Structure 1
Amino acid sequence: MRSKLLIILMTVLGLNISAQVKPAEPVDTVYNPNIIYTGIPNKYEIAGIKVTGVPNYEDYIIIGYSGINIGDRIEIPGPELTAAAKRFARQGLFSSIQIKVEKTAGDLAWLEFALKPQPRISKINYIGPSNGERKDIEERLQLMKGNQITPNIVNRATAIIKNYYAQKGFGNALVKIEQEEDLSAPNENIVNIRINKNNKVKVHKIYIDGNEVMSDNAIQRTMKKTNEKGKLINLFRQKKFVESDFKDDLDRIIEKYNEKGYRDAKILKDSVVAYDDKTVDVYIDLEEGKKYYISDIDWVGNTIFPTEVLDQILDIRPGDVYNQKLLNKRVLEDDDAVANLYMNRGYLFYQLVPIEKNIDGDSIALELRMFEGPQATVNNVIINGNDRLYEKVIRRELRVKPGQLFNKDDLMRSAREIAQTGHFDPENMDIRPEPNEDNGTVDIVFNLESKANDQVEVSFGWGQTGLIGKLALKFTNFSIKNLFRPGTYKGLIPQGEGQTFTISAQTNAKYYQSYSISFLDPWFGGKRPNSLSVSAYYARQTGINSSYYNNNWYNPYMYGGYGYGYGYGSNYNDYYQNSYENAYDPNKMLQMVGVTVGFGKRLNWPDDYFTFQAELSYQWYYLKNWDYLYYMNNGTSNSIVLGLTLARTSIDNPLYTRKGSMFSVNLQLTPPASWLNGNKNWEKLYKENTTESKKQLYRWIEYWKLRIKSRTYTPLTDPDGKWTLVLMTRADMGLLGSYNKWLKSPFETFYVGGDGMSGSYTYATETIGLRGYENGQFTPWTKEGYGYARVGMELHFPFMLSASTTIYGLTFVEAGNAWTDVKSFSPFDLKRSAGAGVRIYLPMVGMMGIDWAYGFDKVYGKKGGSQFHFILGQEF
């Protein structure tokens, strides 16, 4: 037994010893052989490949990059090794590449790929740019800690930064990217990006040669972005030189020549030469060619519409100047272009190609070749991006529906209706048809971006009676049917139906209180665009006793806001130092209560931009020693009012409107007072002028009130562009009369002048803004407004248009006036003003702004002068 164990043990030890003995290398093995690269190559079989210097990479990946595998027969030296080195270089991952022959044995060779990886970024330092510029550059470069930094990356980053500053007019910006080894991290570098943007490069002089048809000034006016500095005509135009803008301006020059019939016009050469460190000279050589005219127009391929109809739509005749831009607009771009004639009848696949059929001297015969194609039927209507409304609320506004023929006008109108809801950002709506010509259908995709539209107003102000606070909540996506279904709530309120619910409260404690609540359903019943509105309000105003005004000059022009005017006499400071408690007079009071129910309908005639609204309201007024109204101070008044409004609105965007118009005619009527008060001797009661006679006169108020308002918006630049310059015009008027001349209404008068906010509804008056004058300057106490007129023009230019914020500036001229009687109304006797301002829209706050205006004329002996006005809310 022992002998068997001994034999087994010796066998195992023998096997182990033999396993540890290395096989003998071939006798002809040569380490680090001397390869003569200019000598005759030898063929070797690759017996092994070793990878060194890149521990973060798997060997098989590196070998795969090389294109050489074990077992390949290659020439050493030879093209295979050269190709492998080039493949490594193309990867851009290695700063050092060596391919070594480690050893050879006969026709066998062992290779070593000795590589060094590119360093990685440990930190990036920006030296020179502002914080805003640094953020912009970081977004463009996308360089991050841990990324490899290569010469190509450095060159690309330098080019991107230079281009960024060149677009801003800094064409001489210097960029230097330095790398320094990070001693705390092996094979990592700190990257320092040094930027010196230098001065903006402007245009010193523009030299134009070869032009005879158009003058130098006319050509320079055509160039929108490349303008000489120092010229008065370029005061508000870009003066910086930007290469890409200059190229665009060269195209504009040729387009302008093409518009004038010079189809062969071309730029022979252009150059930009530095004049000094801050400016450049621009040289343009032109060849105008000759002017062409249209000799004939032929239509080919039209079967749906006869040639006579197409000629009428095109509105270009033989003998007209050959205007390529106008031809393109009439064929494709205009709202009434030939293309829209077809697409509004379903011919989405329609194509029209103008061909210059014959050119004879200066005459061109046009052939308008068209492919009408089949009519396209709407297949699917897809809505993306909606997370606010029930989808049915959006779809009920759409004019495009599955199964209908495609209609471009309906598509554009659908986009407008969605924008008018206010729940989506109109600047970021992407609405596109996706046609499928194989089966003659089209999918309509509405890519929307939801935006917050509810508003919370929390404001505080300081009046003559102390602190005034206001809280208003406006929910624009309310759902009344879900009010008692808490499980459907989104947040704290029921949402999704697109209804509007508003509640507000404003108070100055015992001096002033006002509360209101309203509800609007724009699609009452859910099947037709018929609106239902219900609202109610209560307001209570308390007066100030006479002792409060001791030795203070009362200024009637300041009468407004919350009803307390003040002057600028010697005791002005004492006015504010009086005790508000002592000023409070509970024996002076005005209370108002009102309830209104309205029903509106969208009309189809004259077109479907028209709406009709009917309202029935009841107003109750209670006055006690109320000295602030001229016609009535004590008693109770009532009114039942029927309101009728015909309106047309076709604006494209409620926040920054580029095109369209708004027009409304509103007529309010009460029953004659004799119907409710009985027949009385109204003249006698009026002339008695006693408290009791006034109570009888005004127990039931009678009046008719006519208001006409209009606005138009005209784009002065590209109406479909984002930064459109817009001209807005306005014309408004209002008249307040009675059936009986002895029963002039003490309420519902016009309070004219100032910011259009102060005094609103406080004394049952309608506030009309007229900038450049003080609040109520046209209708001070004893001068109640029974008529007004206002006209104006505003130039709007946008600063920021986004889902979260809209900011635009404006300059304006306007004129207006007010009259104390309908018979005195004279719409051409107006007081003038001019100024500038800014508007800011924030979703949770609404529209607000500030205007500076100067009133040029005198009103009741006082000139308007310089005025600042604060604006809150949109006015129509």
Structure 2
Amino acid sequence: MQRIFSRLSGTMLMVAISVFSSFAQEAGDTTKPTSLDPKLIEWQQSRVPKEYTIADVQITGIKHLDTSIVYSIANLVPGQTFMYPGTDIFSKTIANLWRQKLFSNVGIYITRLDGNKVWLEVNVQERARLGNFKFEGVSKTEAEELTTKTGLTKQTIITENTRRNVVEVVTKYFKDKAYLNVEVSLEEKPDPAYVNSNQLTIHIVKGNKVRINEIRFYGNTNIDDIRLKKQMKGNKEMSKMSFRRDYAKSPYGEDKPYTFKNYMKDWGFLSLSKTKKLISPWFKLRLFGSSKFSQKKFAEDKNSILDYYNAQGFRDAQIVEDTNYLTKRGNLDIDLKVNEGKQYYFGNISWKGNTKYSDSVLNVILGINKGDIYNM
């Protein structure tokens, strides 16, 4: 028997392999060479196309599906002719069967060759279906929400895509809730409650919630960090009160803290914002808003920062890159590197075609004067 095509783990293979052999058995002689069918060897080594006729097709490996369904999908029927080498009917059969997502492996074999007639065997391995499933390590409410989000349904085919989707959906679900170190693993075993089915257990280790320790900006010389942080409605720094700063070095360079010397030099004690800037690394009280990190809201926050820059006349402002990383205490630092660009102002304003109202009247109505920040 010779395998001419097979499909395993999503990869189509066209394989010519050694034929099954018969062994000459003689008493006391174990050195006889293996005997190969010369007709199959000739088939394997043929280079000139020749027409063949399918004499018979057998479907093997089926345990639970209806064999007639596989026959219909394979579309190989007795009496059908093909040219070999050069035919694509076998590759089409493999593709058709694989497309159903019912099988984990598909192979086509030649079991007999007589003249221009060939006997074929289509061997398939059925995929298991989903039986009972459960989420471990989470609350009942979370399990119900995850069931909806993953789309798991009993008696659907379990594929690699099914497994990958479950892990990705569960991971994203908890990361959006600030469990950035969540671990997800799957366990499968036969489910006696259903035929050809596996029980799926999703093990979840959420870990601790990760909160935002500090948000720092680099490259901002015109607008300070405090004003930029105010634009971030979805991600806020956590409350803190400690004389030891939970500091982690940024890949964008050394952080230059606002020192007490600078604070006194700037008469910072007369400014609430400068006072907040001085003490924020050690003391911050947050009564409202969450300090949990949200990737989705972070994207919205970055847009809000750019909108604020545009409103201040920095029309070319960009967030060049950003990163986040854990501190020694397991909290999250967020760094954003900005390129502010130039600040634009209105220049001379001229009017043309105005016969009823003078330029000065129109300027008053417009409410824009030369030198105003261009924020349109």
Q: Which residue of 2 aligns with 1:279?
A: 331
Structure 1 runs not aligned, ≥5 long: 1-29, 300-305, 325-876
SS in 1 for 2:227: helix
1:792-831 alignment runs, 5 A limit: none
SS in 2 for 1:290: coil
Which gives a bigger RCO, structure 1 or 2 (Cα 8 Å, sep 6+)?
A: 2
Kindly provide the amino acid, as one letter, of the partner of residue 93 in structure 1: L
Q: Is residue 249 from structure 1 mapped to residue 257 from structure 2 by the alignment? A: no
Q: Which residue of 1 aligns with 2:191?
A: 182
Q: Which residue of 1 aligns with 2:291?
A: 239
Q: Is residue 95 from structure 1 mapped to residue 104 from structure 2 by the alignment? A: yes
1:395-434 alignment runs, 5 A limit: none
Question: Any idea what the Cα deviations from partners look like across 1:655-681, whole Å, max 9, x if unmatched?
Answer: xxxxxxxxxxxxxxxxxxxxxxxxxxx
Q: Is residue 112 from structure 1 mapped to residue 121 from structure 2 by the alignment? A: yes
- How far apart are residue 262 of structure 1 and its match? 0.9
- How far apart are residue 107 of structure 1 and its match? 2.4
Kindly provide the amino acid, as one letter, of the partner of residue 112 in structure 2: K
Cα separation, 1, equivalents of 2:113 and 2:194: 38
Q: Is residue 290 from structure 1 mapped to residue 342 from structure 2 by the alignment? A: yes
2:225 counterpart (213, 216, 239): 216
Kindly provide the amino acid, as one letter, of the partner of residue 238 in structure 1: S
Question: Any idea what the Cα deviations from partners look like across 1:471-513, whole Å, max 9, x if unmatched?
Answer: xxxxxxxxxxxxxxxxxxxxxxxxxxxxxxxxxxxxxxxxxxx
- How far apart are residue 271 of structure 1 and its match? 1.2
Cα separation, 2, equivalents of 1:41 and 1:181: 49
Cα separation, 2, equivalents of 1:263 and 1:254: 9
The 1:37–1:87 alpha-carbon spacing in structure 2 relative to 1, beyond 3 Å, is farther
Identify, as 1 or 2, the structure richer in helix.
2
Q: Is residue 197 from structure 1 mapped to residue 248 from structure 2 by the alignment? A: no
1:62 counterpart (70, 94, 97): 70
Cα separation, 2, equivalents of 1:317 and 1:158: 56
- How far apart are residue 119 of structure 1 and its match? 0.6
The answer to whether the 8 Å contact 1:270/1:283 transfers is yes
Of residues 128-137 and 47-56 in structure 1, the stretch that sits farther from structure 2 once superposed is 47-56
Identify, as 1 or 2, the structure richer in strand.
1
1:137 counterpart (146, 165, 169): 146
SS in 1 for 2:228: helix
- How far apart are residue 285 of structure 1 and its match? 0.8
For the aligned residue pairs, the C-alpha RMSD in angstroms reads 3.5
TM-score by length of 2: 0.65
The 1:107–1:246 alpha-carbon spacing in structure 2 relative to 1, beyond 3 Å, is same
Cα separation, 1, equivalents of 2:319 and 2:312: 16
1:369-448 alignment runs, 5 A limit: none
Q: Which residue of 1 aligns with 2:262?
A: none
Q: Give the greater-gyration-radius structure (CA).
A: 1
The answer to whether the 8 Å contact 2:46/2:85 transfers is no
Q: Is residue 323 from structure 1 mapped to residue 375 from structure 2 by the alignment? A: yes
Question: Any idea what the Cα deviations from partners look like across 1:622-645, whole Å, max 9, x if unmatched?
Answer: xxxxxxxxxxxxxxxxxxxxxxxx
Q: Is residue 49 from structure 1 mapped to residue 49 from structure 2 by the alignment? A: no
Kindly provide the amino acid, as one letter, of the partner of residue 157 in structure 2: Q
Cα separation, 2, equivalents of 1:31 and 1:120: 43
Question: Any idea what the Cα deviations from partners look like across 1:27-69, whole Å, max 9, x if unmatched?
Answer: xxx8995698687586434344333334655556535545656
The answer to whether the 8 Å contact 1:124/1:191 transfers is yes
Q: Which residue of 2 aligns with 1:377?
A: none
The 1:290–1:143 alpha-carbon spacing in structure 2 relative to 1, beyond 3 Å, is same
- How far apart are residue 323 of structure 1 and its match? 1.9
Kindly provide the amino acid, as one letter, of the partner of residue 333 in structure 2: D
Question: Any idea what the Cα deviations from partners look like across 1:780-837, whole Å, max 9, x if unmatched?
Answer: xxxxxxxxxxxxxxxxxxxxxxxxxxxxxxxxxxxxxxxxxxxxxxxxxxxxxxxxxx
The 1:51–1:276 alpha-carbon spacing in structure 2 relative to 1, beyond 3 Å, is farther
Kindly provide the amino acid, as one letter, of the partner of residue 101 in structure 1: I
Question: Any idea what the Cα deviations from partners look like across 1:572-624, whole Å, max 9, x if unmatched?
Answer: xxxxxxxxxxxxxxxxxxxxxxxxxxxxxxxxxxxxxxxxxxxxxxxxxxxxx
The answer to whether the 8 Å contact 2:128/2:198 transfers is yes
Kindly provide the amino acid, as one letter, of the partner of residue 152 in structure 1: N
Kindly provide the amino acid, as one letter, of the partner of residue 137 in structure 1: L
- How far apart are residue 280 of structure 1 and its match? 2.2
SS in 2 for 1:293: coil
Cα separation, 2, equivalents of 1:102 and 1:77: 20
SS in 1 for 2:307: helix
Question: Any idea what the Cα deviations from partners look like across 1:728-752, whole Å, max 9, x if unmatched?
Answer: xxxxxxxxxxxxxxxxxxxxxxxxx
The answer to whether the 8 Å contact 1:175/1:196 transfers is yes
